[in-house]
Amino acid sequence: MPSSLHLHGVVLDETTEPGDAARDLWIDEAGRFTDGPVAGAETIEGWIVPGLVDAHCHVGIGPDGPVELEEARAQGHVDAAAGALLLRDCGAPIDTRPLDDDPEMPEIVRAGRHLARPKRYIRGLPIDAEDPAELPGLVAEQARANPWVKLVGDWIDRDEGDLAPLWPDDVLREAIDTAHAHGARVTAHVFGEHALPGLIGAGIDCIEHGTGLTDDTIAMMVAHGTVLVPTLVNVANFPGFAGAAGEKFPRYGAHMRELYARAGETIAKVLDAGITVYAGTDAGGGIAHGRIVDEVVALADAGLGRERALMAATVAARDWLGRPRIGPGAPADVVVLPGDPRADLDVLRRPTAVLRRGRRLG
């Protein structure tokens, strides 16, 4: 059980102005914010932000595929120690719900397992539809158990030797409508250009990566209100993906290099169009956990700016995922910092305290 705490500092959200006065926040022994003061509370001072949000994370996937539950626990602990106290897990091949009672684990918003076609995604991770017409039924199963559903929108087609869509447009419309009827939202892995019109036109809620966005599909996203999680930490690996294709898939290799080369221009157009973006690392597999600050910095450098990048990983992302902000009755999931991250995002790398449900981690 955490002890009672008193936080004193400037609380950062989109309404915070330069020169705003420090506030006093009180956390009770149940690990929730309360109307204070609380007698005998330990005081922690600094700049206060809600726990960071990694909006694209994979707890349960390692470099060789699915991992055991205890390794998944260790992954979550690394994310939490880095300040990521809320994860949108964008596809996991194992059931991580037994970890929810661990007080040092981040809160996880789940998307169940990836949905793909045979030999059209990483082996061992997805549920495969032998026939594309099976997708709406598979989506219904995932949507009944999870608030999100994760589709593989494109992947290398070995016959074509390049990225290609997995699903017909009519199947996507039925599948996404099915998810929405069950109260779930849908997102999709998409690297290239050709799967995007069908997904966006079918009413998908979010696109992951989105390196193949064009002027036309950016306009479609604006019209449909689709959001983007660009996973810039992962995009940095595209040259390596291209190199691994070698001489076997030269079209794919060239395509991935092209997507990488224009990624900066693509994200600039996305931001100029006013599309909402959130910070996600794609941790799991070949990307280490605990890199949320790297993604926030990458978004800021890509044109979002420090303050908006911070919001994309804190209050805005929490609103999007339906999780409470700092306030009475809310779980005390916060990061206390030694300086103002709007002036220097690197202070996110050296927190004074990380609190999960009022419990100090580390």
**Angle between helix 263-272 and helix 215-224 axes, rounded to 10 deg:** 40
Digitized pLDDT (tens) for each residue of the chain, 362 residues in all: 568 999 999 999 999 888 889 999 999 999 999 998 999 999 999 999 999 999 999 999 999 999 999 999 999 999 999 999 999 999 999 999 999 999 999 999 999 999 999 999 999 999 999 999 999 999 999 999 999 999 999 999 999 999 999 999 999 999 999 999 999 999 999 999 999 999 999 999 999 999 999 999 999 999 999 999 999 999 999 999 999 988 899 999 999 999 999 999 999 999 999 999 999 999 998 999 999 999 999 999 999 999 999 999 999 999 999 999 999 999 999 999 999 999 999 999 999 999 999 999 98
What are 138-145's contacts with CB under 8 Å, separation 24+? 139/115, 139/175, 139/176, 139/178, 139/179, 139/186, 140/178, 140/179, 140/182, 142/111, 142/112, 142/113, 142/115, 142/179, 142/184, 143/178, 143/179, 143/182, 143/183, 143/184, 144/182, 145/112
CATH 2.40.110.20 fits 5-48+325-360, yes or no: no
So where are the chain's domains?
A: 5-48+325-360, 52-320
What letter does residue 134 receive in the DSSP assignment? G
Which value, to the nearest 10 degrees, does the dihedral of the CA atoms of residues 188, 193, 197, 199 take?
Answer: -10
CATH superfamily of 52-320: Metal-dependent hydrolases (3.20.20.140)
Query: How far is it, in rounded angstroms, from Cα 217 to Cα 131?
Result: 27
